[in-house]
Chain A
């Protein structure tokens, strides 16, 4: 299959000749070099592989290449604007969220999409909307960082 002319990854046109059933995760990691997208479960359980497709957070480990044709994919590497971090990335640093850090790219992508949809989430919104797994247990800081990111975004912070 080919992805078609409109397919973009982090703004760049991409070509793909191969198995349409291959998960997007492996294309991103192994072909496009976007190693920030992480493999955790392969079953859409943990969210470490979260990317945006046309602005919506999806779990790339269960997204076949066939579903990406003509779409715009954004990975963690494409979230910042040059050296200016996305407000969610900035909030993650300010709240010192990460421990091992392995899940955090997926967490950040999930939160970035959540805030686009709901700029002022409540605790209940966060509970329902953020189902990514953090094995280190950084959840209390994640919650604080979501609120900080929402505030940064509202104040026209980075991006």
Chain B
């Protein structure tokens, strides 16, 4: 999919002088009701009127703007990706403004679409590793053209010129010129035949320095634009009542009262596509379209719909768990099978066994799903908070049968993603509604819509057994999981793959135990499922790291030492899943040792206090955490400190790494403490944050330390590896503090009342 970068480099530089102002601040169209004329002008809401077709914009006034290609959802790409460009461009990063690049695609010779510049999705912790080369090349090329312009102007060879912080110098003559003065001339210079060389690591001046978020001022003044803030002239508002029952349908609808609400324009039925379609919507339903959002909301309340409860009407969380237990009594798919587990387990000197449960959880980004779509005869405009703007383009193109070159996607800043916005179902809904009413439609989900119509992280029951020989070696390990696979109903996927395992064949302790078997049981559930930040790693790391802790305590061995002797020395093991192609156990061991050292692991703890450790590898990153807890006599739990160590190779923005670690810790803690999505009667119970209580400040650890190991390895991202170790380190600490082993998540009130 990725177009070779060299094919497009002539497009990398576009200058204000050549192409007009590229970013134009334009006040948005008036709303239906305006306050009086005395109201001050609305905040300077801006939108891209022109397209930013390049990474670098340099103006004569020395303004430097660098576009980040991937959607920003809090992971810090609005700062870290421009750092890569700025490093090679050689500008003062403090002077750089950064802006979101719209989706830039182009057709290939065979009529498919490909990236015009670089891939533009946010997911899989891939932004940094995916762009580490290409964005530095973009910066180096821009610098080379500016240097070439200076060489012409000075009449000297380019090889005699140096650059520093936006200035080109000729040492011999003492002449110099600023980038801004050279930009227009540079724009007319052809790209060199060969890509300019990149800096060596030792020459980095920006990469590796702690940088604060570039767009902080816009955020703290309320001027940052999210999808929910987008408007188009003539836009109508829509909200949608979806069938609350999994795969349920409408038996009848009476929309007369809804249509009678002042301002309501139309009620539009939205149908689900057939299984296997290249796009999905969550549920069928009725969209109320109105002049104002409030009218649409009132109209929605006036809808009278009689829902058929669908094929999963009997599903409940309790029944689903029993279903998983029943499955585990039989035989499942063998995901990995090294040696002979059964024989080794039967012959083991000591054996261990435990069962763990993890519930469905919801992504719950704080910005509810929304999309603004304008479907016209000959073009489509999509403005939406999406992690995958190219998916929005592809799916809407398929849905409407329209040439993708006529679809414009403006990705906005996202009010959180966490994997939810890998799916573009809400964009599809808005496109269907816009097509029906022939106007731009802004669709807004409520919080209840979001919690009850998510692609949930799969729930499942895990059964583990392990055997040690007389010498204390771990010789047999099996992890058996019955869960509802996240691949269920995935668009574009054949039904035969809906049951793909949620166990990753190469995950720790794979290849470290001679007799090793992973067995998966696909459980039936009507709940939509999908990728939730660090997908199955969050579930599986909890289980594996808890089980190891249980074993160590049972054997009278220190839990850290057991992990370290399992991991062994540094070496590359094949790893074909997230973050491969190799897993180096030595790097994970180093993280565990560092977190243990900095976190005082192993020190004596007073009554009611505990300190637990866990580590995990995913998406190319190694992470270990030490969690300190205090459990009061009444069971009240407080996490007083988390100390983390992480090795994600070459670090671009250490401040961003720390921020993502803090995010991972709090996400992991919030989820472990109280979060679960429950099902009754084939529908989701929880509707808002009273029932799905995301953690608040009072429960957040006041201290989160992040210790970074950077030995110059290839860079990985940091969006996901901060989460998986948290829950097991937490419950391991709780065990030390209380003697109680948490095997069911969330913890909820399990520590209360003995």
Collect the chain B residues with CB atoms within 8 Å of residue A75's CB: 222
Q: Does A152 contact B (CB under 8 A)?
A: no
CB distance from A115 to the nearest CB of B (A): 15
Contact between A42 and B447, CB atoms less than 8 A apart: yes
Contacting pair B292 A131 (CB below 8 A): no
Known pairs A31-B31, A93-B220; A13 contacts B366 (CB<8 A)? no
Given contacts A30-B292, A98-B216, A108-B220, whether A35 and B225 have CB atoms under 8 Å apart is yes
Residues of A within 8 A of B413 (CB): 100-101
Q: Which residues of A contact B662 (CB under 8 A)?
A: 137-138, 140-141
- Whether A105 is near chain B, meaning CB under 8 Å from some CB there, is yes
B76 within 8 A of A: yes
- Given A101-B413, A103-B366, A139-B666, A12:B40 Cβ within 8 A: yes
Q: Cβ of A85 and Cβ of B226 under 8 Å apart? A: no
Cα of A34 to Cα of B45 in the assembled complex, Å = 9
Residues of B contacting A: mostly: loop
Tell me the complex Cα distance, A99–B219, Å.
Answer: 10
Distance in Å: Cβ of A97 to nearest Cβ of chain B:
8
Q: Mark B651-670, 1 if CB is under 8 A from A, else 0.
A: 00001000100111111001
Contacts of A93 in B (CB 8 A): 212, 216-217, 220
Asked if B697 and A137 sit within 8 Å, CB to CB, the answer is no
Q: What residues of chain A lie closer than 8 Å to B224, measured between beta carbons?
A: 101
Within the complex, what minimum Cβ distance (angstroms) separates A124 from chain B?
9
- Among the listed stretches B169-177, B276-284, B536-544, B701-709, which one makes contact with chain A, having 4 or more residues with CB under 8 Å of it? B701-709
Asked if A150 CB lies within 8 Å of chain B CBs, one says no
Known: A34-B42, A41-B688, A140-B702. A9 touches B697 (CB 8 A): no
Give every chain B residue within 8 A of A1 (Cβ-Cβ).
none
| Chain A CB within 8 A of B364 CB | yes
Closest CB in chain B relative to A10 CB, distance in Å: 6
Q: What CA separation (Å) do A102 and B670 show in the bound complex?
A: 18
Contact of B43 among A19, A33, A48, A99 (CB under 8 A): A33
Check B39–A9 contact: CB distance below 8 A.
yes
A133: which B residues are within 8 A, CB to CB? Answer: 366, 689, 694-696
CB pair B45 A33 closer than 8 Å: yes
User: A43 CA to B368 CA in the complex, in Å?
Assistant: 13
Considering the complex, which residues of chain B in the window 78-128 have a beta carbon less than 8 Å from any beta carbon of chain A?
none
Name the A residues within 8 Å of B417 (CB-CB). 100
The CA-CA distance from A12 to B216 in the complex, in Å, is: 27
Interface presence of A58 (CB below 8 A): no
A98-B220 Cα distance, complex, nearest whole Å = 8
C-alpha gap A19/B444 in the complex (Å): 20
Give bound CA distance, A138 to B213, whole Å. 13
Chain A hits for B202, CB < 8 A: none
A157 close to B (CB within 8 Å): no
| Distance between Cα atoms of A43 and B687 in the complex (Å) | 10
Residues A1-59 near B (CB distance < 8 A): 9-19, 22, 26, 30-43, 45-46, 48
Are A100 and B366 CB-contacts (below 8 A) given A35-B225, A92-B216, A137-B663?
yes
With A137-B665, A139-B700 given, is the CB distance from A34 to B34 under 8 Å?
A: no
Is there an interface contact between B36 and A140, defined as CB atoms closer than 8 Å? no
CB distance from A1 to the nearest CB of B (A): 13
Q: Of B45, B75, B697, B704, which one neighbours A127 at CB under 8 angstroms?
A: B697
Q: Is A104 an interface residue (CB 8 A)?
A: yes
Shortest Cβ distance from residue A128 to the other chain B in the assembled complex, whole angstroms: 7
Contact with A along B35-60 (1 / 0, CB 8 A): 11011101101000000000000000
Q: How far is B510's CA from A158's CA once the two chains are assembled, in angstroms?
A: 57
B258 sits at the interface (CB 8 A)? no
Query: A69 an interface residue at 8 Å Cβ cutoff?
Result: no
A135 and B365 within 8 A (CB): yes
Per-residue B-contact encoding for A63-75, CB less than 8 Å = 1, 0 else: 0000000000001
Known A18-B33, A33-B42, A138-B663: A40·B368 in contact at CB below 8 Å: yes
Task: Determine whether the beta carbon of B219 is less than 8 Å from that of A98.
Answer: yes
Distance of A26 from chain B, by nearest CB (Å): 5
Chain A nearest Cβ from B19, distance in angstroms: 29
- Docked complex: B389-430 residues within 8 A CB-CB of A: 413-418
Q: Which residues of B contact A141 (CB under 8 A)?
A: 659, 662
| A59 CB to nearest B CB, Å | 12
Q: Which residues of B contact A139 (CB under 8 A)?
A: 666, 695-697, 700
B148 at the A interface (CB under 8 A)? no
Give the interface size class of chain B: 35 or more
Q: Nearest-CB distance from A36 to chain B (Å)?
A: 2
B690 contacts chain A at the CB level, 8 A cutoff: yes
Interface centre among B221, B223, B365 (most CB of A within 10 A): B221
Q: Indicate whether B698 reaches chain A with its CB closer than 8 angstroms.
A: yes
Interface contact B221-A80, CB-CB below 8 Å: yes
B222, B293, B294, B666: residue with the most chain A Cβ atoms closer than 10 Å:
B222
B39 close to A32 (CB less than 8 A):
yes
A102 surroundings in chain B (CB, below 8 A): 226, 365-367, 415-416
Contact A14 B697, CB 8 Å, known A19-B294, A93-B216: no
Query: Does A136 reach chain B (CB closer than 8 Å)?
Result: yes
Nearest chain-B residue to A32 (Cβ)? B35
CB neighbours of B226 from chain A (8 A) = 38, 102
Most buried by B among A108, A130, A139: A139
In the bound complex, do residue B663 and residue A77 qualify as a contact, i.e. CB atoms below 8 Å apart? Answer: no
Task: Knowing A16-B35, A31-B34, say if A99 contacts B220 (CB, 8 Å).
Answer: no
Q: Please, which residue of chain A has its CB at the minimum distance from the CB of B211?
A: A96
For A26, A31, A130, A136, the residue with the greatest tally of chain B CB atoms inside 10 Å of its CB is A136
| Contact between chains at B366 and A48 (CB < 8 Å) | yes
**What A residues does B446 contact at CB under 8 A?**
42
Q: Which chain A positions have C-beta within 8 A of B39? A: 9, 12-14, 32
Neighbour of A137 across the interface among B298, B364, B667, CB < 8 A: B667
Asked if residues B294 and A85 are in contact (CB atoms below 8 Å), the reply is: no
B418 neighbours in A (Cβ, 8 Å): 135
Select which of A13, A92, A105, A142 is within 8 A of B697 by beta carbon: A142
**B residues less than 8 Å from A79 (CB atoms):** 221
Which residues from chain B contact A26 at a C-beta distance below 8 Å? 292-294
B229 at the interface (CB under 8 A from A): yes
When the two chains form their complex, are residues A99 and B225 in contact, meaning their CB atoms are under 8 A apart?
no
CB distance from A2 to the nearest CB of B (A): 11
Tell whether A116 is near chain B: CB-to-CB under 8 Å: no
- Shortest B355–chain A CB gap in Å is 30
Decide: B223 and A36 in contact? CB cutoff 8 A: yes
Question: B42 contacts which chain A residues (CB < 8 A)?
Answer: 32-35
Check if A130 sits within 8 Å of B416, measured CB to CB.
no
| Residues in A112-159 with C-beta less than 8 Å from chain B | 123, 126-128, 130-143
How distant is the Cα of A26 from the Cα of B415 in the complex, in angstroms? 18
| Contact with B222, one of A32, A45, A76, A96 (Cβ below 8 angstroms) | A76
Report yes or no: B36 in contact with A11, Cβ–Cβ below 8 A: no
Q: Contact partner of B659 among A22, A34, A96, CB < 8 A?
A: A96
CB atoms of A76 and B294 under 8 A apart = no
Please state if B703 and A89 are interface contacts (CB–CB under 8 Å). no
Which of A14, A99, A138: most chain B Cβ within 10 A?
A: A99
What residues of chain B have their CB less than 8 Å away from a CB belonging to chain A? 28, 31-36, 38-40, 42-43, 45, 72-76, 212-213, 215-217, 219-226, 228-229, 292-294, 298, 364-368, 413-418, 444, 446-447, 655, 659, 662-667, 670, 688-690, 694-698, 700-704
Q: Please name 24 pairs of A and B residues whose Cβ atoms are closer than 8 Å in the assembled complex, sorted by A.
A: A12-B35, A12-B38, A14-B35, A19-B294, A30-B292, A36-B223, A40-B447, A41-B688, A92-B216, A96-B213, A96-B659, A98-B74, A100-B73, A100-B365, A100-B415, A100-B417, A105-B219, A128-B698, A134-B697, A137-B695, A138-B666, A139-B697, A140-B702, A140-B704
The 8 closest A-B pairs by CB, nearest first: A36-B222, A137-B666, A33-B42, A102-B415, A100-B74, A76-B222, A139-B700, A99-B74
Interface residues of A (CB under 8 A from B): 9-19, 22, 26, 30-43, 45-46, 48, 75-77, 79-80, 85, 89, 92-93, 96-105, 108, 123, 126-128, 130-143
Apart from the given pairs A93-B220, A96-B212, A137-B667, 7 other A-B contacts in the complex at a CB distance below 8 Å: A22-B294, A40-B366, A40-B367, A96-B216, A126-B697, A135-B416, A137-B663
